[in-house]
Amino acid sequence: MFALMYIKFMENSYCVICGAPCLLNRKTCSQRCHEIYMAKMEREFGKYKKVVDVVTGKTHKVSIRYILEHGLKWSELKDFPEWEE
């Protein structure tokens, strides 16, 4: 089982923009392709997402770029502005 998981992890990955080989667990091969990919994601999903903190019930305005580049933890929501309708 471990050997199969290791082989799957070692598979090549390719840039979603230009198709060039890139490092494991990466979507893009270069900073240029990364910026193109981020612009595409912002066009497709919007520049900001409305994220609700289920503990406090507050709604926060979080950049899609931040979510894709860093991920989002519940403890970080307080660092983002509240969503204003």
Q: What is the pLDDT of residues 43-60, one digit of tens each?
A: 999 999 999 999 999 999
Section 26-39 average pLDDT: 92
Are residue 69 and residue 41 in the same domain, yes or no?
Answer: no
Are residue 3 and residue 19 in the same domain, yes or no?
Answer: yes
Q: What is the pLDDT of residues 1-21, one digit of tens each?
A: 444 444 444 467 889 999 888
Other Cβ atoms less than 10 A from the Cβ of 48: the count is 18
Are residue 40 and residue 50 in the same domain, yes or no?
Answer: no
Are residue 51 and residue 31 in the same domain, yes or no?
Answer: no
Are residue 60 and residue 78 in the same domain, yes or no?
Answer: yes
Are residue 62 and residue 80 in the same domain, yes or no?
Answer: yes
Are residue 29 and residue 3 in the same domain, yes or no?
Answer: yes
Instruction: State the pTM of this model.
Output: 0.75
Q: Which residues contact 50 (CB under 8 A, 6 or more apart)?
A: 59, 60, 61, 83
Contact 22, 29 (CB under 8 A): yes
Q: Which residues contact 83 (CB under 8 A, 6 or more apart)?
A: 50, 59, 60, 61
